[in-house]
Structure 1
Amino acid sequence: MASEFAESASTALVGPRLRAARQDRGLTLEDVAARAGMSVSTLSRLESGKRQASLELLVPLTRLLGIRLDDLVRPDAVDPRVRRPARRRGGVVIAPLTLEDSPVSTFKITYPAVSELPELRVHDGYEWLYVLSGRLRLRLGDQDLELEPGEAAEFDTRTPHAMSAAGSGAVEVLSIFNAAGERMHTRSG
């Protein structure tokens, strides 16, 4: 099994990731090598890619550094471009700006001009937003706010809230959600 791992793990990726994990924790080569029961030379050669990675060497290091083997051997993203289609929901256009498995979800949302503010909603989550163009009406609890381009807001989505364009034109907003907020704002009806 160790030999299978050694063949599949690219030392070109493992070494720099191992070094970064050690340095992020403020540890020296000497500190880590001593605690992991290996020579400083072995650790240095692993980090520089001059020594083949094996499970026998990496398991104690990952435990010591508090990382997973997957953190060391995951492949680099092949294509970082986001190619998710925009969706329409009730006249609102929701364009994803992050990959589907990102820890934070970001969208460009275009709210059309409407005569009445949508119904106030409450749900788990958190939202950060930034007005790109147009004017945004944000009803947040008892507050009725208008935000202009360049203005931002952040709020707990457990506060009753609703958004729409203010005035006769559409508004474009950059919205960032945690996982719970993203599900409610972009996937529910």
Structure 2
Amino acid sequence: MSTPPYVEIAKRLKGLRDALEMSAQELASKVGVKVEEVEAYESGKKEIPVSYLFEVAKACGVDLTVLIAGKEAHLHTYALVRKGKGLSVERRKDYDYKSLAYKFSGRKMEPFIVKVPPKKEEDITFNEHSGQEFIYMLKGKLEIRLGDDVLILEPGDSLYFSSRTPHALRGLDGEAEFLDVII
């Protein structure tokens, strides 16, 4: 069995915090989570939400690409990513994320192509984080739960919401694919 990708990301998170001489409590306060969450993500034993990585990158003044891939983004004018060539963000098993702007330095948003497989209703997990999110459906059918509301999105549909709202996703009738932009 191979090592989960988030184990390497966990090492980079801990290394960054140590390099900045920041306590786990200080980082927790800056990104709006409990210190136990910071410690769990840095341990390499818990999957790390991309939203958490985004918040850590902002709070620490680094590019998200550094945390995901271990290297700096380097383009400043534009960054072209060809079809199917986004940077895989292998940090959790639920979804397949591909970063579409990983080469661009100083990003103000994080665009991803996300694929969500079908799953049973009882297997969904909720997530919440600071910021806002925009989803534009490309393929399939997506169920998104925003708190107690259940929405079904199909190709061409879009949704903009506060990421502070607890949200969970699952593909319906097969895999769902969408553009997801986090700010």
Q: TM-score, normalised by structure 1?
A: 0.49
Q: How many residues align?
A: 103
What residue in structure 2 maps to residue 143 of structure 1? Answer: 149
> 1:79 Cα deviation (Å)?
7.0
Evaluate the alpha carbon distance shift between residue 146 and residue 80 of structure 1 in structure 2; reply closer, same or farther with a 3 A threshold: same
- Whether 2:99 is the aligned partner of 1:109: answer no
> 1:80 Cα deviation (Å)?
2.7
Evaluate the alpha carbon distance shift between residue 79 and residue 152 of structure 1 in structure 2; reply closer, same or farther with a 3 A threshold: closer
> Which one has the bigger helix percentage?
1
What is the RMSD computed on CA atoms of the aligned residues?
2.4
Structure 2, unaligned runs of 5 or more: 1-74
Given the alignment, which residue of 96, 100, 104 partners 1:97?
100
Identity in percent? 30
> Which structure would you say has the larger Rg?
1
> 1:141 Cα deviation (Å)?
1.3
Evaluate the alpha carbon distance shift between residue 78 and residue 105 of structure 1 in structure 2; reply closer, same or farther with a 3 A threshold: closer
Q: Which runs of 4+ in 1 moved over 4 A?
A: 76-79
In 1, the alpha carbon distance for the partners of 2:166 and 2:76 equals 39
Whether the 8 Å contact between 2:128 and 2:163 is mirrored in structure 1 is: yes
> 1:125 Cα deviation (Å)?
1.5
In 1, the alpha carbon distance for the partners of 2:108 and 2:78 equals 18
Given the alignment, which residue of 75, 87, 93 partners 1:85?
87
Q: TM-score, normalised by structure 2?
A: 0.50
- 1:79-131 Cα offsets, whole Å, 9 max, x none, are 73236521342141101111353211100000011123522222212100001
> 1:166 Cα deviation (Å)?
1.6
What residue in structure 2 maps to residue 120 of structure 1? Answer: 126
